[in-house]
Amino acid sequence: MLSMASYGTGAAGGIFAPLLVLGALIGLGIGEVTHHFFPLLVPIPAIFAVVGMAAYFTAIVRAPLTGIVLIVEMTGNYAQMLPLLVACFCAYIVAESMGELPIYENLLERDLMRGGTMPDPKEPIVLELEVEPLSPFAGREIRELGLPAGCILVSCRNGAHEWVPIAGTRLEAHVRITAIVSPESSGAIRILRRGCEADD
């Protein structure tokens, strides 16, 4: 609880150990429930705690191989490699499908936005964002967004449907846009992010 409060306020606080504890508790809870209904199938519910740690780490950090190696080294038990592989890659796929950034990228982006500084790229940046409901870009045509020269929207995607936008393309909520930003137009990154985020 304190980790969530500290993360939400932006105060300094470790998230690695609480992340593993939460994963272990979730895994143990699933193991206990499964053991209650299928005692012969799951004789030792505590095994789920180890798998839960790796899966939760993978979902939050988006590093499945790191999660697997980390838990194997912590436990010294290589017999759990197959369950760890399945759990971690399933967690990775689910987390990616939800479209959220990994936690460390999210923290970096929040710090950059809060400090008023943006990266100074030396090469073009490919940026993918989702137009949130009630955001400044929702319902507006691309020609109305005020994007500077050197910032080009190259694709729009809504589920499985993907298309190349033109100046008259109207951006609707939940559409994912992919933009290429040249080094000379790095200020467009701030415009794109603010335009795609819902107003508080």
Task: Return the number of other C-beta atoms located less than 10 Å from residue 92's C-beta.
Answer: 19
Q: Is the pTM of this model over 0.85?
A: no
- Structure confidence at residue 124 as a pLDDT band (50, 70, 90): confident
Query: Per-residue pLDDT tens for 176-188?
Result: 999 998 888 877 8
Task: Return the number of other C-beta atoms located less than 10 Å from residue 120's C-beta.
Answer: 7
87 in Cβ contact with 49 (< 8 Å): no
State which amino acid sits at residue 85. Answer: L
The tokens for 138 are: 């929702």
What is the crossing angle of helices 46-61 and 81-97, to 10°?
40
Q: Report the percent of the chain where pLDDT is more than 70.
A: 85
* Domains in the chain: boundaries: 2-97, 118-196
**124-127 contacts: CB < 8 A, separation 24 or more?**
124/180, 124/181, 124/182, 124/183, 125/180, 125/181, 125/186, 125/189, 126/178, 126/179, 126/180, 127/178, 127/179, 127/180, 127/181, 127/189, 127/192
Q: What's residue 3's pLDDT?
A: 63
Q: How many angstroms separate the first and last alpha carbons of the chain?
A: 24
Q: β-strands 161-163, 176-181: how paired? A: unpaired
- For residues 51 and 165, what is the distance between their CA atoms, to the nearest angstrom? 43
The tokens for 43 are: 């004789």
Arithmetic mean of pLDDT, 41-64: 91
Q: What's residue 111's pLDDT?
A: 64
- Structure confidence at residue 127 as a pLDDT band (50, 70, 90): confident
- For residues 190 and 109, what is the distance between their CA atoms, to the nearest angstrom? 11
Say which residues have a Cβ less than 8 Å from residue 183's Cβ, sequence separation at least 6: 120, 121, 122, 123, 124
- For residues 121 and 126, what is the distance between their CA atoms, to the nearest angstrom? 11
Alpha-carbon dihedral sign for residues 112, 173, 176, 178: negative
- For residues 164 and 179, what is the distance between their CA atoms, to the nearest angstrom? 11
CATH number of 118-196: 3.30.70.1450
Tell whether the model's pLDDT for residue 117 goes beyond 60.
no
Tell whether the model's pLDDT for residue 118 goes beyond 60.
no
